[in-house]
C-alpha cells in the first residue's frame, strides 16, 4: 500500500464580536487549525489534525514532508517520525514541524487501523476500553460579563463529574474561582486548575497554598512552559501535582518534563506532540518515572478523536484497581463548531462518560459539508 495524495485543509472559526474568551493571559476570538487528508492506492483515506494555522502547515508539509509521504507505506510511519529529527537536521524540535508531522502521523495510523480493521487504540497496545471519563474545560475568562458559576453549572448539568477551570489572574481571584467551582462540582468531583503559565514561581506557590483545601487534582502550567527551573521550584514547595505538556513538542522536550519528575502529569496534544508515534514514546517514557499521561485537547473533532484513541491506549500502570485515579480526557465546553460539527457522528461527552469509537482507525466519518463550511483560505 502506498500514499498517493496528501492534502492540507485549513479550518477557521470566529466567535461573534464581544464574545472572546481565554485565560489569564488574554482573550481570543478566532480558532485556526489544519486537517491533513491522505489517500492511498488501495482507496483507503486517513485523517489527522495539525494543530497550527493553515498556511504554515501547508508550507511545512510542502517543503519538508510531501516528497517523503507520497509513495510511503503508512505502516512505515515511524520512519517518517524519526526522519523529522535528522532530515533536515535540527528542525525536529520545532512546533510547526511537529504539528505538521502530527497531522500526517495520525492520518497514517487512521489508514493502518482501517487496513487491519482495528481501532487505533488497540494497535497502540490498549486493552479493550468502552468509554473514558471526560472532564469539562470551562470557566474561561470571558470578554462579556457572565456569572462566574454559570459555565461550570452547565457542565455539571450535562453530566460532567470532572472539570478544569482557568485561574492565574491573582491569588484572591483564584481562590474565589476555585471555591465556586468546588461548590458546584461537589466534594466528589475531580477539579483541576490551569494557570496558563501566567505566574512567577512565588505567585504560583502562593495560590497553590491558598487553594490547598479544595482538593485540586492538578495545577496546570503554573509558570511558563519554557521555565524549567520555575517548574522545579514550584514542585519543591507545593503538594498538589503539577501538569504540563501542551506547549512541548516531540519526545526530547517531554523527556525533560519526565526526567526527575519535573511534573507529575504530562499532557501531549495529538495535533502537536508528533502524533501517535511520538505520543506512545512519551507515554512509555512517562511510565518509567511514574508520571501520569493525560492528553491535552483543544482541537477540532479530528484531533479530539485522536486524543480519545490515544487516551484509551494508555496503560494505568502502576495502579491497582482500588486507586481512584482514572484516565480523564479533556473536553472543552466553549463554543467551537470545529469540534462539534465536523463528524457525521459527533463525540458526545455528556452523561459523564465518553464512548471510545470501536470502528477501524480513528473510528470517525467526516461531514464533508461541514468541512466546506469551515474551510478557510489560511
Closer Cβ to Mg ion, 198 or 309, answer by number:
198
What is the residue whose three cell numbers read 518509567? 288
Please report, to the nearest 10 degrees, the dihedral formed by the alpha carbons of residues 95, 98, 101, 106 taken in order: -110
Least spacing, CB of residue 166 vs Mg ion, in Å: 8
**Annotated catalytic, 296?**
yes
Contact 51, 269 (CB under 8 A): yes
Find the shortest distance in angstroms from Cβ 269 to Mg ion. 10
Q: Give the residue nearest to Mg ion (CB).
A: 194
Which of 370, 271, 340, 355 is closest to 308 using CA atoms? 355
Q: Which helix (H) or strand (E) holds 77?
A: helix 77-86
Question: Which is closer to Mg ion, CB of 39 or CB of 220?
Answer: 220
CB of 287 to Mg ion, least distance (A): 22
Instruction: Write out the three cell numbers for 124.
Output: 497502540
State the SS3 of 110-138.
Answer: HHHHHHHCCEHHHHCCCCCCCEEEEEEEE
Write down the least CB distance from residue 195 to Mg ion, Å: 9
The residues near 204 (Cβ < 8 Å, ≥ 6 apart) are 195, 219, 222, 223, 230, 234, 238
CB of 49 or CB of 220, closer to Mg ion: 220
Query: How would you classify the pairing of strands 131-138 and 354-355?
Result: antiparallel
Site residues (CB under 5 A) for Mg ion? Answer: 194, 220
Closer to Mg ion by Cβ: residue 108 or 238: 238
Q: Which of 13, 202, 248, 296 is catalytic?
A: 296
**Residues labelled as active-site residues:** 296
Amino acid at each position: 500500500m502506498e500514499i498517493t495524495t496528501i492534502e492540507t485543509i485549513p479550518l477557521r472559526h470566529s466567535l461573534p464580536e464581544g464574545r472572546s474568551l481565554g485565560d489569564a493571559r488574554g482573550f481570543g476570538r478566532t480558532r485556526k487549525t489544519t486537517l491533513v487528508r491522505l489517500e492511498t492506492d488501495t482507496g483507503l483515506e486517513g485523517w489527522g489534525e495539525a494543530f497550527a494555522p493553515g498556511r504554515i502547515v501547508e508550507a511545512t508539509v510542502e517543503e519538508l514532508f510531501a516528497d517523503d509521504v507520497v509513495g510511503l507505506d503508512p505502516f512505515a510511519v515511524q520512519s517518517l517520525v524519526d526522519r523529522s529529527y535528522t532530515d533536515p537536521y535540527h528542525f525536529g524540535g520545532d512546533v510547526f514541524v511537529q504539528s505538521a508531522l502530527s497531522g500526517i502521523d495520525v492520518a497514517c495510523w487512521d489508514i493502518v487501523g482501517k487496513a487491519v480493521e482495528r481501532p487505533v487504540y488497540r494497535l497502540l497496545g490498549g486493552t479493550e476500553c468502552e468509554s473514558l471519563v471526560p472532564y469539562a474545560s470551562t470557566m474561561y475568562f470571558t470578554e462579556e460579563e457572565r456569572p462566574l458559576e454559570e459555565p461550570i453549572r452547565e457542565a455539571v448539568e450535562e453530566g460532567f463529574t470532572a472539570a478544569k477551570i482557568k485561574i492565574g489572574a491573582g491569588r484572591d481571584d483564584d481562590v474565589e474561582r476555585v471555591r465556586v467551582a468546588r461548590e458546584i462540582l461537589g466534594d466528589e468531583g475531580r477539579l483541576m486548575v490551569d494557570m496558563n503559565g501566567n505566574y512567577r514561581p512565588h505567585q504560583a506557590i502562593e495560590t497553590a497554598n491558598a487553594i490547598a483545601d479544595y482538593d485540586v487534582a492538578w495545577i496546570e502550567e503554573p509558570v511558563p512552559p519554557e521555565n524549567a527551573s520555575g517548574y522545579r521550584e514550584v514542585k519543591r514547595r507545593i503538594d498538589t501535582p503539577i501538569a504540563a505538556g501542551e506547549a512541548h513538542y516531540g519526545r526530547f522536550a517531554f523527556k525533560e518534563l519526565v526526567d526527575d519528575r519535573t511534573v507529575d502529569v504530562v499532557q501531549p496534544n495529538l495535533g502537536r506532540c508528533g502524533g501517535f508515534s511520538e505520543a506512545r514514546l512519551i507515554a512509555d517514557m512517562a511510565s518509567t518515572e511514574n508520571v501520569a499521561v493525560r492528553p491535552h485537547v483543544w482541537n477540532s473533532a479530528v484531533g479530539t478523536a485522536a486524543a480519545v484513541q490515544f487516551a484509551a491506549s494508555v496503560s494505568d500502570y502502576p495502579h491497582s484497581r482500588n486507586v481512584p485515579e482514572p484516565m480523564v480526557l479533556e473536553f472543552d465546553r466553549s463554543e467551537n463548531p470545529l469540534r462539534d460539527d465536523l463528524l457525521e457522528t459527533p463525540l458526545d461527552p455528556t452523561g459523564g462518560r465518553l464512548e471510545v469509537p470501536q470502528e477501524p482507525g480513528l473510528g470517525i466519518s467526516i461531514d464533508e459539508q461541514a468541512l466546506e463550511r469551515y474551510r478557510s483560505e489560511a
